[in-house]
Amino acid sequence: MRPQKPKNRANNISNAQDRFQGYYLDNISCKFCVNYRGKKRGCVLSACAFEEEKLDAIKNGRIKQKVGDAV
């Protein structure tokens, strides 16, 4: 038996929750950067390439990602 599709897709809440809101500060950490060479050697760049995204995350209160939120 095939599963039935919902009759009214506007009422499907899961579609509304999948909108991209921006990066969380946890996701922009230096350890995920391609220019970061480890704890001892640090970053290759003199200024962070993701400074705008970090400031935007702080400004909008996206500091720590909750368990149910997926980016």
For residue 54, give both structure tokens: 């970090």
For residue 62, give both structure tokens: 């996206």
Q: Indicate whether 10 pLDDT > 80.
A: no
pLDDT at 13: 57
Cα distance between residue 61 and residue 52, in whole Å: 14
Tell me how far apart the terminal alpha carbons of the chain are, to the nearest angstrom.
33
For residue 8, give both structure tokens: 């009214």
> Residue 12 in contact with residue 18, Cβ under 8 Å?
no
* pLDDT tens digits along 20-68: 778 899 889 888 899 999 989 999 999 988 899 999 999 999 888 877 6
Please tell me which residue, 12 or 37, carries the higher pLDDT value.
Answer: 37
Categorize the per-residue pLDDT at 1 as very low, low, confident or very high, splitting at 50, 70 and 90: confident
Backbone φ and ψ of 25, nearest 5°: -65, -30
